[in-house]
Amino acid sequence: MVLPLALAQFVASYAATNMNVAISAIAHSLSTSVIGVQTAITLFTLMMAALMIPGSKLTDIWGRKRCFLWGLAIYGAGALIALLAPGLGVLIAGYSFLEGIGSALLIPPIYILITVLFPDMRSRAKYFGIVSGAAGMGAAAGPLIGGTVTSAISWRASFGLQVLIVAWVILLARKIIEPPRRDSPPRFDLVGAILSAAGLVCIVLGLLVSRTYGFVVSRKAFSIGSTVVLPKGSVSPVVVLVAIGALFLAGFFLHLRSAEKKGKAVLLRLRLFRVRASDLGLGTQLIQWLTIQGSFFVVSVYLQEIKHYNAIQTGLMLTPATIGILGASASADRLAKRHSQRSLIITGFAASVVGMALLLAVFKANTGVFSWIPGLLIFGAGTGVMLTSSVNVVQSSFGDSDQGDISGLSRSVSNLGSSFGTAIVGSVLVASIRPGAGPFSAALVVLVVITLLGLGISVLLPRHGPGAAPGAQSPRAGDDANARQTGLLDKSQARQIR
């Protein structure tokens, strides 16, 4: 039952990274500009950011399995439309909008279903490891697979591959057994959905334009049509967009508090932010994805701009990181038996810092191919270890009734982290005036500092995991306590699932 969930996560992560190596080919094929294709990629990111939390709420209304299947169907339809697109407008409709909507519907159920199907921490660690490995492999291998398919066949074949995988996942997903809900489905909070979506769109859009305009002072004039809104040297549009987004999110939280006092249905329950382990776990997730996307971005650009590698060569160079992620994720079950989730997150951050330090040495020395392997491998292993554990900490902090809310919040935080990563690295690269590898070294130093901040947050995590049990130090007691606390499955259902 976990296989379709892992495959779906792989496709969603692949779609977010493979398009970058096909921009020129798509622009030439559709007789459009590179900026037009980049706009399509930006809109895809915005759709996911805007709809991830509302999409997760729909899992409580429609059901987890049903929402997962609907998301797959919409995503597959979008990939098919993109495959047949005669122009940029149709590509945006298929890829940016339908695939974005489908991703927002199918991703939250992946993590909810694993949480409710496997009540004990060790089983969750194992299967979260599989899903996290699929996510990391999709993100890391996206440029390689996308570049290979685009070069050997066509950029359209990449969307055809997604259609085939989604069709296979739909067939496999029919065997998923979803535990019955013990409460009635909630109503949909439309006002909360609009406020949260507007806030996240403004923030993510601000981060995406930071590479062009800079974070604080605008590097160029910001115009709407022919009207200059913000002249060069004034405040950056990033500040304006993020401020507007923050106002929308402030309004969102005020709406939640008011609606909860009146006993109305809300998009997120405010109690989700009152659990220390979950709050800190979300902080580690934000920094983890910031580090992953930022590091992959800076290494990819360095290899293409300084080493003059093509898309396929760049993807191959990232293979050690992919192997590290998969290896660590595959060991999640064994690691969870021996160590607490907290210690695994700390170890993962520490390993990531070591890996990036080795990469920084490679940047400065400008050495050969094999010198990249240790840093990328250690970085990937550290990433794989902490990704699985952070997801486990966050999802396991709440019972069945809150899984829809916390899953959407968790995925939104991860998306924000990814956007932060590419935005920060892009801004450092553009702002730096140092020649050669200098800007890339500066960007990597910034990522190391941020990763050290994540290490500090992970140290603050409670020593005992969710539930009353001390995590991996007493796994049997932890499993029993967690099962009693959540009440997710009865004995007959557990035997059937196993």
Q: Check residue 262 and give its pLDDT.
A: 86
pTM above 0.85, yes or no: no
Residue recorded with tokens 């900490």: 393
From 149, 143, 110, select the one nearest 293 (Cα to Cα): 143
Distances (CA, A) of 1 to 6, 7, 118, 440: 9, 11, 11, 42
Angstrom distance (rounded) from CA 446 to CA 435:
18
Average pLDDT across the chain, whole number = 81
Q: Check residue 119 and give its pLDDT.
A: 73
Q: Check residue 465 and give its pLDDT.
A: 54
- pLDDT tops 70 at residue 467: no
pLDDT one-digit tens code per residue, 251-263: 999 999 999 888 8
From 372, 46, 362, select the one nearest 198 (Cα to Cα): 46
pLDDT one-digit tens code per residue, 415-431: 788 878 877 887 787 76
pLDDT one-digit tens code per residue, 436-447: 667 788 888 889
Two tokens, residue 265: 């249905």
Mean pLDDT of 34-39: 76
pLDDT one-digit tens code per residue, 78-114: 999 999 999 999 999 999 899 999 998 998 888 888 8
Contact partners, residue 196, CB within 8 Å, separation at least 6: 50, 53, 54, 248, 249, 252, 267, 268
pLDDT one-digit tens code per residue, 120-177: 777 777 788 788 778 877 776 777 787 788 778 888 988 999 999 999 999 998 888 8
Looking at domain 2-188+265-497, its CATH class is mainly alpha
Mean pLDDT of 305-310: 77
Q: Check residue 432 and give its pLDDT.
A: 61
- pLDDT tops 90 at residue 351: yes
Mean pLDDT of 353-365: 84
